[in-house]
Amino acid sequence: MRILYDGRILQNPSPSGVGYYAQFLLQGLLSSDDTTLKIFTNSFQTRPLGLESALPPHASLYTTRYPNKLLTLAWSLGRFPAVDKLFADSDVVLCPHISVLPETKLPKVVTIHDLSYEHFPQFHGPKERFWHQIAARSAKQADLLIAVSYATKEDILKIWGIESRKVKVVYPGAPDLSETVEADFADVSRRFNLRAPYLLAVGTLEPRKNLVRLIEAFANVSNEPTCRDLHLALAGARGSDSHRIEQAIHKFKLQDRVTITGYITDEIKKSLYRHAEMLVYPSLYEGFGFPLLEAMQMHLPVIASRAASIPEVTGEAAVLVDPYNSEELAQAIRDMLEDSALRERCRTLGKARVKRFSWQACSEQVREACRSLK
């Protein structure tokens, strides 16, 4: 089988969860020599993430000289620039995220990570909504959609009206930090002026991550006897909610207790997980949620929201709360800090839970999905 793999998202110099999904899925596909891969990239970007080493004989790069935004706009209107060479010698097109490709007779498989822009259009500006509409139109024309969770599949069926037979759930694997060289925590602490003990939240500072409500909950517990030395680390790239988050920090006079790191490397992230008291993940909506599994892999207790796919990912291995109730979140933080048996239970269940999510199984199921359309 010959797969054309849209690898443009791999070239983002600051990859998010979707970028890591594309990287690890590709690595899984490359591990099997019964599949020929042509990886589509863009010469205007940096070299694709995960392709630093030489490709195996059954894989090749196809690079276009056009900027990606120009390609997306042009292909949303027609087939220019010409794409005959792009689609030549392929049996199926595989897009590891929602993207725009020109019309083709080849069957097309697209992974849908979430429909957050459908649930929360108010969190996205006009430009983002425009690109989402174009990409969604392209995804709806796919022959098969891969949903990363049953919650995402349910959204696809209800919101887009896609037939169930055209949507297959394939769980991603768990992020593997085992081979990542861990940054020295003393250096990390000095760099970000962060002191232990601390709560950790991981994710871009955007409204659906619900970090303002987390700050409210932290303010609620911060002056209690067991929490007076406690800090909060918000580890993630600055986003559209940065200003509101900073306002909340000042409102509750937590400037010396809350740290915003900005975008961090895997080396720093691993160190932050290692030394945190717990991961707090109060997101309003997630299609999957890689930090949940990262924390479990690092034996970190998890508090998360009872929303969208999150209970599906965590199972019984996390304490789940109403993401709209800061009092409930504050109480969960108290309970986790004060109850050593609860912490140990979450660690034990989390260690077992993370083993359920395998990149090998993910890549094999995606490969079979592609083969079914050949």
CATH of the domain at 343: 3.40.50.2000
Q: Are residues 166 and 265 in the same domain?
A: no
Q: Are residues 339 and 367 in the same domain?
A: no
Residue 330 exposure: Cα atoms within 13 Å on the Cβ side: 17
365 falls within a domain: yes
60: nearest Cα among 24, 89, 92, 21? 89
The backbone region for 206, taken as left when phi is positive above 0, alpha when psi lies in -120 to 50, beta otherwise, is beta
> Residue 214 sits in which domain range?
185-356
Helices first, then strands: H and E counts in the chain: 15, 13
Residue 94 exposure: Cα atoms within 13 Å on the Cβ side: 30
Query: For residues 329, 331, 337 and 341, what is the CA-based torsion angle, rounded to 10 degrees?
Result: -110
pLDDT one digit per residue (tens) for the chain, 374 residues: 999 999 888 887 777 889 899 999 999 999 888 889 999 887 655 555 556 567 888 988 887 777 777 777 777 776 555 666 777 889 999 999 988 777 778 899 999 999 988 888 888 777 777 777 777 887 888 999 999 999 999 999 999 999 999 999 999 999 889 889 999 999 999 999 999 999 999 999 999 999 999 999 999 999 898 899 999 999 999 999 999 999 999 999 999 999 999 999 999 999 999 999 999 999 999 999 999 999 999 999 999 999 999 999 999 999 999 999 999 999 999 999 999 999 999 999 999 999 999 999 999 999 999 999 97
What is the model's pLDDT at position 103? 75
Q: Are residues 242 and 321 in the same domain?
A: yes
Query: For residues 195, 199, 202 and 206, what is the CA-based torsion angle, rounded to 10 degrees?
Result: -100
Q: Are residues 207 and 279 in the same domain?
A: yes
202: nearest Cα among 119, 258, 264? 264
Q: Are residues 243 and 350 in the same domain?
A: yes
304 falls within a domain: yes
What is the model's pLDDT at position 10? 86
What is the model's pLDDT at position 296? 98
What is the model's pLDDT at position 43? 66
What is the model's pLDDT at position 285? 96
Q: Are residues 167 and 32 in the same domain?
A: yes
Q: Are residues 95 and 232 in the same domain?
A: no
Q: Are residues 351 and 314 in the same domain?
A: yes
115 falls within a domain: yes
What is the model's pLDDT at position 11? 82
Q: Are residues 195 and 217 in the same domain?
A: yes
State the total domains in the chain: 2
332-341: long-range contacts, CB 8 A cutoff, minimum separation 24: 332/303, 333/199, 333/217, 333/218, 333/221, 333/227, 333/278, 333/280, 333/303, 334/221, 334/224, 334/226, 334/227, 336/277, 336/278, 336/301, 336/303, 337/226, 337/227, 337/230, 337/277, 337/278, 338/226
216 falls within a domain: yes
pTM over 0.85: yes
Q: Are residues 24 and 71 in the same domain?
A: yes
Q: Are residues 240 and 320 in the same domain?
A: yes
* Lookup result for tokens 């109730």: 325
Say which DSSP state 205 is in. B
Q: Are residues 312 and 334 in the same domain?
A: yes
309: nearest Cα among 265, 357, 271, 277? 357
With residue 84 as reference, give the H or E element that holds it.
Answer: helix 84-87
3-state secondary structure of 61: strand
Residues 6+ apart with CB under 8 A from 127: none
